[in-house]
């Protein structure tokens, strides 16, 4: 069987880089993913209903999203703690002293405060960097979403088209191979049958007989032979015998030509039937049905993505949210850093001889400013965390464990080789992790190709196998030959007395031998033909060839043709886009918001500690009114 060129497509992932803060992205992703329940068939079913059918949404959240909800509620804890801290600090300063009694300023405390404030600034700077970098990457990913989608779709189409081209090639090649083998087998079987019944031997004998008769074609005419009557009778007998033998030779030639024509007709007829069968399998309409079914599935999601992308891109709120989120993050962050720098300078330049309360004022002002900022960043964290939660829900359910893929809930039906196939996308992706798996081994292709196997039943093909027509000598000709043989034998004694008839005698003996041989061969052929069912022999041989070739094709489909591993790679590429290009930037947004919220909360504490440190050796009580 000739080889079709195997196609091994390479699926290129769309790489992205997260710089030196990639640990924070991975940590945030790990936290968000860890809060998800391990997916099961039941949870995937509920998620599919919640996302794609808007059914059982509350049930899904109540049953499978408890930990993300608890984690996001941590934001309320921070907000509540911030409000209480703000309230109690204000009350404390208004009604009590913020100066510890009987304590002294410590240089170590000042250094510790400066270092801790510096770390807070670094932490806030890190939050600013990660937040803005994440937003830029998320914006870039959103703007390139259609390109990502088109890249994945192109890979999918290339793999599908090339795979089905490989299938068509193998089927077409198999059809040609069967036709070739059938033709060779017909010729071989016919030759063997002719040899078995003695027809081939008769043909060879006929050729040699013609040559032998040709040698005696012109015998001298005797003008006045001694045995005139014997000569006359012998000469007439030889002429009649030659005519009969030539007639038989002519009939044999015609029969031999007829066998060749029947053989060619049988070849053409069977080849035509085989070509019709394989043409019906690999025709364009058949393949178009398959590709249309697949295109309908992909176009549905394709159109949904494009519509959502278009509506969001054109919505002015999209740009406003981008700008607002940057303002809500960057301005408060810079303000907090500025106040922290002022506090560091105040601590570094503070002198006991200074009698002014201005440093204390700025520090306490910073405290009352940055503490509410914690609430802003906490709210940002809670909002963006729900985006990260959504990304983790999809990534954990679909890409983290392909054995429990969300796509197991996606099924569709398509028709191939006149067979309807129920296709589960998730099971297909899971099985195609194995690089050696083929499309047909995954979808039980042997049953799928049963249609081909049924059509290749020789008895149902309608291919005509003509009866093996040799020929039988006509009854009159056989009687004539027997008469001539008997006549020659009767004349033998008379001819022996005439030396002049030596050549005629030799020719007569040669004709007797040929006639007896012809009769012997023809009787043998007639007897053998009665014992051989040529059509049954031919059908068995043809069916064996077709069974062997089609089984080879099926085995090839199950082991070599149309490897499906590229589909798994495309699935992973989609996961790379969803989880890396979109998911990780979202995780970067909420983690940087949470980091900044916590950093600013502790920054407020450090402002309070700095305020207390400055007044640690002053006498009397310092109240909020005195600071003001």
Burial class (CB in 10 A: 0-12, 13-18, 19+), 620: exposed
Q: Is the pLDDT of residue 105 over 50?
A: yes
Question: Residue 318's pLDDT is what?
Answer: 64
Length of the chain: 628
The reply to whether 133 falls in a domain is yes
The pLDDT confidence band at residue 460, using thresholds 50, 70 and 90, is low
Q: Is the pLDDT of residue 627 over 50?
A: no
Taking alpha carbons only, the member of 550, 558, 554 closest to residue 274 is 550
Question: Residue 379's pLDDT is what?
Answer: 86
Three-state secondary-structure class, residue 1: coil
Q: Domain of 582?
A: 19-158+319-407+578-627
Q: What is the DSSP letter of 413?
A: E
CB neighbours of residue 404 within 10 Å = 18
- Residues linked to residue 365 through DSSP beta bridges, in sequence order: none
Cβ(439)–Cβ(556) below 8 Å = no
CA–CA dist 343, 346 (Å, integer):
5
Phi, psi of 218 (to 5 degrees): -115, 100
Q: In the predicted model, what is the mean pLDDT of residues 454-481?
A: 66
Taking alpha carbons only, the member of 294, 8, 282 closest to residue 167 is 282
- Number of structural domains the chain divides into: 1
The pLDDT confidence band at residue 624, using thresholds 50, 70 and 90, is very low
Question: Residue 352's pLDDT is what?
Answer: 58
Three-state secondary-structure class, residue 374: helix
Of 29-43, 444-458, 459-473, give the range with the top mean pLDDT: 29-43
The pLDDT confidence band at residue 622, using thresholds 50, 70 and 90, is very low
Q: Is the pLDDT of residue 31 over 60?
A: yes
Q: Is the pLDDT of residue 232 over 50?
A: yes
Q: In the predicted model, what is the mean pLDDT of residues 478-496?
A: 74
CB neighbours of residue 481 within 10 Å = 24
The reply to whether 384 falls in a domain is yes
What tokens were used for 575?
């996961």
Residues 6+ apart with CB under 8 A from 174: 1, 278, 549, 550, 552, 553
pLDDT tens by residue, 155-176: 888 888 888 788 878 877 877 8
Taking alpha carbons only, the member of 574, 128, 139, 589 closest to residue 387 is 589
| Residue-averaged pLDDT of the chain | 76
Q: Is the pLDDT of residue 154 over 70?
A: yes
Question: Residue 337's pLDDT is what?
Answer: 92
The reply to whether 238 falls in a domain is no
Question: Residue 626's pLDDT is what?
Answer: 42
What separation in angstroms does the CA of 191 have from each of 88, 351, 532?
A: 111, 121, 14
What tokens were used for 586?
């979202």
Question: Residue 617's pLDDT is what?
Answer: 46
* Higher pLDDT, residue 518 or 70: 518
- Residues linked to residue 423 through DSSP beta bridges, in sequence order: 412
The pLDDT confidence band at residue 204, using thresholds 50, 70 and 90, is confident
Residues 6+ apart with CB under 8 A from 371: 82, 85, 86, 89, 600, 601, 604
* Higher pLDDT, residue 500 or 183: 183
Cβ(546)–Cβ(554) below 8 Å = no
Q: Is the pLDDT of residue 206 over 50?
A: yes
Cβ(121)–Cβ(333) below 8 Å = no
Q: Is the pLDDT of residue 441 over 60?
A: yes
Q: Is the pLDDT of residue 282 over 50?
A: yes
pLDDT tens by residue, 324-352: 777 888 899 999 999 999 888 888 877 65
pLDDT tens by residue, 289-328: 666 767 776 776 677 677 767 777 766 666 666 777 778 8
Q: Is the pLDDT of residue 78 over 80?
A: no
* Higher pLDDT, residue 259 or 434: 434
Tell me how many degrees the CA angle 343-346-352 measures, rounded to the nearest 5: 140
The reply to whether 239 falls in a domain is no
Phi, psi of 479 (to 5 degrees): -65, -40
Which alpha helices (DSSP H) does 216-357 contain, by range? Answer: 228-282, 284-314, 316-349
pLDDT tens by residue, 534-588: 777 777 877 787 778 777 877 888 888 888 888 888 888 888 888 888 888 888 8
The reply to whether 345 falls in a domain is yes
The reply to whether 109 falls in a domain is yes
pLDDT tens by residue, 391-404: 888 888 778 776 76
Q: In the predicted model, what is the mean pLDDT of residues 256-273?
A: 79
What tokens were used for 345?
């300078």
Q: In the predicted model, what is the mean pLDDT of residues 222-242?
A: 74
Taking the chain, what is the end-to-end CA distance rounded to the nearest angstrom?
Answer: 97
The reply to whether 476 falls in a domain is no
The reply to whether 249 falls in a domain is no
Cβ(534)–Cβ(543) below 8 Å = no
CA–CA dist 161, 290 (Å, integer):
10
Contacts of the segment 142-149: beta carbons below 8 A, 24+ positions apart = 142/309, 142/312, 142/313, 142/582, 144/581, 145/305, 145/309, 146/305, 146/306, 146/309, 148/14, 148/577, 148/581, 149/302, 149/305, 149/306
Q: pTM score > 0.85 for this model?
A: no
Q: Is the pLDDT of residue 142 over 60?
A: yes
């Amino acid at each position: 069987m000739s080889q079709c060129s195997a196609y091994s497509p390479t699926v290129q992932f769309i790489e992205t880089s997260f710089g030196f803060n990639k640990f924070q992205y991975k940590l945030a992703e790990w936290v968000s993913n860890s809060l998800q329940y391990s997916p099961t068939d039941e949870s995937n079913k509920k998620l599919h209903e919640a996302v794609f059918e808007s059914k059982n949404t509350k049930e899904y959240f109540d049953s499978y999203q408890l930990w993300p909800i608890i984690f996001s509620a941590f934001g309320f804890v921070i907000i509540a703690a911030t409000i209480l801290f703000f309230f109690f600090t204000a009350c404390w300063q208004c009604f009590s002293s913020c100066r510890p009694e009987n304590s002294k300023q410590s240089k170590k405390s000042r250094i510790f405060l400066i270092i801790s404030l510096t770390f807070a600034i670094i932490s806030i700077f890190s939050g600013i960097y990660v937040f803005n970098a994440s937003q830029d990457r998320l914006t870039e990913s959103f703007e390139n979403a259609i390109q990502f989608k088109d890249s994945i779709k192109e890979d999918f189409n290339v793999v599908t088209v090339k795979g089905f081209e490989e299938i068509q090639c193998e089927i077409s090649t198999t059809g040609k191979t069967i036709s070739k083998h059938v033709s060779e087998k017909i010729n071989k079987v016919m030759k063997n049958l002719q040899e078995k019944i003695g027809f081939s031997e008769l043909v060879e004998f006929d050729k040699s007989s013609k040559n032998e008769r040709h040698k005696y074609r012109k015998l001298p005419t005797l003008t006045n032979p001694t045995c005139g009557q014997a000569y006359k009778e012998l000469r007439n007998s030889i002429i009649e015998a030659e005519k009969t033998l030539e007639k038989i030779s002519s009939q044999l030639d015609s029969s031999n030509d007829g066998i060749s024509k029947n053989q060619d007709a049988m070849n053409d007829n069977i080849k035509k039937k085989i070509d019709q069968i394989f043409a019906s399998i690999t025709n364009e309409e058949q393949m178009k049905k398959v590709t249309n079914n697949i295109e309908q599935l992909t176009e549905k999601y394709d159109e949904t993505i494009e519509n959502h992308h278009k509506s969001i891109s054109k919505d002015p709120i999209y740009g406003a949210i981008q700008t607002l989120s940057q303002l809500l993050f960057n301005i408060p962050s810079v303000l907090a850093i500025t106040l922290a720098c002022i506090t560091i300078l105040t601590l570094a330049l503070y002198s006991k001889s200074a009698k002014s309360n201005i440093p204390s004022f700025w520090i306490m002002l910073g405290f009352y400013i940055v503490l509410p900022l914690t609430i802003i960043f906490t709210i940002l964290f809670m909002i963006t965390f729900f985006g990260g939660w959504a990304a983790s829900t999809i990534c954990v359910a679909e890409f983290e464990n392909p054995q429990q893929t969300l796509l197991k809930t996606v099924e569709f039906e398509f028709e191939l080789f006149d067979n309807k196939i129920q296709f589960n996308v998730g099971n297909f992706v899971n099985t195609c992790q194995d690089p050696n798996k083929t499309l047909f081994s995954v979808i039980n292709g042997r049953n799928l190709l049963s249609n081909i196997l049924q059509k290749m039943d020789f008895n149902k093909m309608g291919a005509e196998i003509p009866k093996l027509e040799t020929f039988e000598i006509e009854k009159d000709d056989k009687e004539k030959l027997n008469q001539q043989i008997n006549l020659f034998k009767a004349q033998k004694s008379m001819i022996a007395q005439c030396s002049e008839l030596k050549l005629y005698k030799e020719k007569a003996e040669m004709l007797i031998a040929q006639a007896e041989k012809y009769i012997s061969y023809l009787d043998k052929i007639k007897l053998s033909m009665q014992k051989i069912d040529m059509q049954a022999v031919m059908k068995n041989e043809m069916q064996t060839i077709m069974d062997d070739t089609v089984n080879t094709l099926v085995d090839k489909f199950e082991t070599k043709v149309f490897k499906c591993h590229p589909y798994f790679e495309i699935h992973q590429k989609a996961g790379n886009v969803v989880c890396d290009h979109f998911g990780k930037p979202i995780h970067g947004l909420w983690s940087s918001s949470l980091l900044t919220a916590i950093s600013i909360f502790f920054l407020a504490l450090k402002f309070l500690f700095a305020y207390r440190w400055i007044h640690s050796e002053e006498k009397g009580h310092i109240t909020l009114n005195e600071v003001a």
